[in-house]
Amino acid sequence: MTRYSLYSLLWIDRESEKEISDVLKYKCGVDEEHIQRRMHLTIYHSRRRLIDVKRSKSYEIIKADVKETRFMVLAPGGENPRKNINVNKSPVGIRLTRRNIAMPRLLQLRRSFYKYENERVLRNRRHKTSDKKNAFGSNHFQPHILMIRPGNRINVNLTDIGKIFREELKYIYFNKFEIKDRIQ
């Protein structure tokens, strides 16, 4: 069975990614092999082809303030500590809070896709896209960035690593917005 996916991705610039990697490695004790490369934030995901949406790249600087980020396990319900989620066997990243200075621009980029969710694309699905929900992807949009791959040996209390991260970094910069699709 063939599966289609459309992604709109906001890529972290190389300098910011290096700063993040250095903080994770030298201040938080994350092994280099477990630090994610090519960090990005997914703005929009669709499992259906959206008519008139083409692959593209554009460049602009978007600044996110690190003080308005929180570490989380990238698993359902991972934004809250849970006994059934093993931090060391799951990917870990940060989510941007609604108060983050980057949110207005992120939501503007996300909203640019809503007009393409027409009846032909939706078929029998209900049109439920909003700033929090998506007709095809996650039921709850939380802008997040994967930073630590599974197999890490970090402290299971993500509050500790988050505090260090927010003390060491002030901003994360994004510099490329890309729309791409994939057929599996």
Could you report the per-residue pLDDT of 45-55, keeping only the tens digit for each? Answer: 888 788 888 98
Domain 4-183 has CATH 1.10.390: no
Query: Given the structure tokens 């599996």, which residue do they identify?
Result: 184
Domain segments of the chain: what residues?
Answer: 4-183
Could you report the per-residue pLDDT of 118-149, keeping only the tens digit for each? Answer: 666 666 655 555 565 555 555 567 899 999 99
Q: How far apart are CA 6 and CA 100, in angstroms?
A: 26
